[in-house]
Amino acid sequence: MINVPRKKLRRPALTRTLVSVVALAACAGLAMPGAQAAQAAQSGATVTQPIPVPDAPAQVASGEMSTTAVAAWNATTAAKQVRSNPLYSTPYLGVSKCREPKIALNTQANVAKYDQYLVNCLYSVWRSSVWRARGDYNVKPTLVVHPYTTVNTRCGSVTNNSFYCSYSNGAIYIPWKFIASLWSQNQAYARAYATQTLAHEYGHHVQRQTGILDASWWRQNHMTTSSAALAESRRRELQAQCLGGVYIGADKAYYPMSGTLLTQWKYLVSHSGDMKGYPRDHGSWTNNSFWSNAGFQGNGKGTHAGSCQTFVASATRIA
């Protein structure tokens, strides 16, 4: 299930906002060769002390907070920012040549090291695209790997979710116990899940640095109907999903994203999105798969953010 607000989407006080994206975790067990333990002291990630919590539901979520003053936007400027952003004209994303860490995702320390490695890799290539789009290319988000059912942040309290908060330099929050629970069932799926989650949340960081995130939230909170507001949320979340695919596709020969890992990633993105009975704020499974693969495949010559123009896509493609 998705843990999302039941009320009409709107920006809370102090320009803080929150959104969620779901990813289902159901697959047959497969083993990852060469897994090994790691120490959190070498990761550079923030690791909190573990406390007993119930098992987390099968989901990935993202929280976002905008720091730009609301008065900075109007309908015309916000639309231009999301639809014609210079990010879409940047060259193919660079190849980080990062190889997947051979780390067992079964402890808080190990998840922290695995994820911090990915954050560093994502930053190493996305900063050039962000700079070309006239964004804040020197900012790397903080990674916080935590054990809590509910975590309190500057973006508010979030339950059982991985999410991005854009306060200050931005932060990505990851509840490690859910990833560890996947690892005990299906190691290849857990790896795909951890990789896609980080790439998606970093996609929100790219949106934030290029002005897309704040402009989209302005638009969402000025929609005249709840259905239009939900559609704006879906455009934003599907774009983050696509931007995650752009990075994974760019580095697929080195990570490597092939064989069993690729099979599990494709299963994951084709079983991610809105669930019956909850607000339709993240897009259908079909469209999550479409945009993830659009970013991953690029145009045959490389992958780039221009593949992720969800804000000009048809209503069918963001349903």
- Intervals of the chain under pLDDT 50: 1-44, 46-69
Predicted TM-score (pTM) of this structure = 0.82
Structure tokens at 2: 């998705």
> Residue 171 and residue 211: Cα distance in Å, rounded?
16
20: which strand partners?
61
**Residue 278: per-residue pLDDT:** 87
Q: What pLDDT does residue 161 have?
A: 86
Tell me which amino acid residue 187 is. Answer: Q
Residue among 220, 222, 239, 240 nearest 230 (CA): 220
Tell me the residue ranges of DSSP E strands in the chain: 16-21, 46-47, 60-65, 142-146, 150-153, 156-159, 163-165, 171-175
pLDDT of the residue at 11: 31
pLDDT at 36: 27
Given this model, what pLDDT does residue 136 score? 78
Beta strands per DSSP E along 160-297: 163-165, 171-175
